[in-house]
Amino acid sequence: MSDTLGHPVGKVIAVHLAYPSRAEQRGRIPAEASYFFKAPSSLAGPGEVVRPEGTELLVFEAEIALVIGTAGRNISEEDAWSHVGWVTAANDMGLLDFRAADKGSNVRSKSGDGMTPIGPRLIDAATVDPSALRIRASVDGEVVQDDSSSTLLFSFAHFIADLSRFMTLEPGDVILTGTPAGSSVLAPGQSVTIELTSETDPSITSGELTTTVVAGPPLADIGSAPKADDRQRIDAWGSREAAGLESFELTPELRERLSKVAVATLSSQMRQKGYPNVSIDGVHPMKPGTTLVGRARTLRYVAHRPDLFRAHGGGYNAQKRAVDTVNEGEVLVMEARSFEFAGTLGDILALRAKVRGAAGIITDGAVRDWGPVGDVDLPVFAQAAHPSVLGRVHIPWSVDDTITCGGVTVQPGDVIVGDDDGALVIPPHMVLEILAASEQQEAEEEFIALMVADGHPVEGLYPMNAAWRARFEEWASAR
């Protein structure tokens, strides 16, 4: 494909995450821009795109495309826009059924023929304000994406300056600058229309870029087969609910019920269901009598290494991003390799989490500023107190990954419950069943304790035989 001014298309570079609306939807804020390549042969104009039989996750992503007009290397941010010849609408489509097989490269999932519709008209970059461009997408006539370049986490100039540190940007290169929230999945028969306009002069437009999905034959039976799991479906559709997956909401009523059940009881019920390893070993509440209930957010530390700490430890690092994005009712769970000789939390970050509405923090490492952290009045579970900063042995590495805290796997969204006995992890799909069983167990144990206190022997009572079971049922129904 060539643009209308005759330049052959060169590299196609796409930005992973650039809009706050999308970052909020994904639950993570990138510290730096990141990129991937798409094949130039994926470029197309308005028309049709094929979804092969056997695939389900054909996604669309409305994006602003920058077309380089003047070559440059090591371009400054101040000069960056002068190297952009044109802007237009683009659709960063892909088959996410192949994302896992690509292992991050997006070669098969994003570079198929027709997977990058662009156009239909190029807008002279000199006629628009780069911070006042609006991108919209409609599916079958309904607007699903609508955002402005003024909200970008990183400016267009940043992308150009960053990329040109490593490669010469040449006339005809295309930079796809990320998508806002609202992208989703298309089925055969559906159409998506994308348009780019100037917010200062709406008459300046790329025109409507319409792509219709058609069903196609299956791909040849060679190499990795398409595969879609729930994680891919959630990312593709935008949410668990949109993907049609069973949703779980930790309602105020459920929080209250979980807070009244002992962690020891929950642990017993989890073990009976085949989950013996759910307790976060080594942690205890900073203040006796503390209870904690919430959905997990995760933060992972790795072992200190000077070069990696210089790159990842300073500035707006993963630790600060995690605390800055924890939401109301969530528990920030930290994997600190069960190393109790370095602080992973201090009073300032504890206060920030408290202000954000966090339900608590759990670290299998140590806490510094023990007294002031306790004064914040935020439920915190940790191994011990230690005065050192995390940079002595740790590097804050990643947010919202699957982690191991205190020997237990924790995934974002898991339900965390804590009391004086410690803390444990419950997969969301098990919460209702485990809670009901735990409440039943505690009612039985209350009855047994009353009977023992009344002088009855434990034989036949603990556990209850049929006769005692009948008496328990009568007692329970009379409560």
Distance CA 199, CA 324 (A): 31
Nearest alpha carbon to residue 131 among 150, 147, 144: 150
Burial class for 35, CB neighbours closer than 10 Å (0-12, 13-18, 19+): middle
The answer to whether 348 is a known ligand-binding residue is yes
Distance CA 268, CA 412 (A): 23
Distance CA 357, CA 377 (A): 12
CA distance from start to end of the chain: 77
The answer to whether 346 is a known ligand-binding residue is yes
Per-residue H/E/C for the chain: CECCCCCECCCEEEECCCCHHHHHHHCCCCCCCCEEEECHHHEECCEEEEEECCCCCEECCEEEEEEECCCECCCCCCCHHHHEEEEEEEECCEEHHHHHHHCCCCHHHHCCCCCEEECCCCEEHHHCCCCCEEEEEEECCEEEEEEEHHHCCCCHHHHHHHHHCCCCECCCCEEECCCCCCCCEECCCCEEEEEEEECCCCCCECCCEEEEEEEECCCCCCCCCCCCCHHHHHHHHCCCCCCCCCCCCCCHHHHHHHHCCCHHHHHHHHHHCCCCCCECCCCEECCCCCCEEEEEEEEEEEECCHHHHHHHCCCCCHHHHHHHHCCCCEEEEEECCCCCCCECCCHHHHHHHHHHCCCEEEECCEECCHHHHHHCCCCEEECEECCCCHHHCEEEEEECCCEEECCEEECCCCEEEEECCEEEEECHHHHHHHHHHHHHHHHHHHHHHHHHHCCCCCCCCCCCCHHHHHHHHHHHHCC
Q: Please enumerate in sequence order all residues whose Cβ is within 8 A of that of 256, keeping only pairs 6 or more positions apart, or say none.
A: none
The answer to whether 454 is a known ligand-binding residue is no
Angle, vertex CA 72, rays to CA 69 and CA 74, nearest 5: 145
The answer to whether 26 is a known ligand-binding residue is no
Binding site for substrate, by residue number, is 346-349, 368
Binding site, by residue number, is 346-349, 368-369
Binding site for Mg(2+), by residue number, is 369
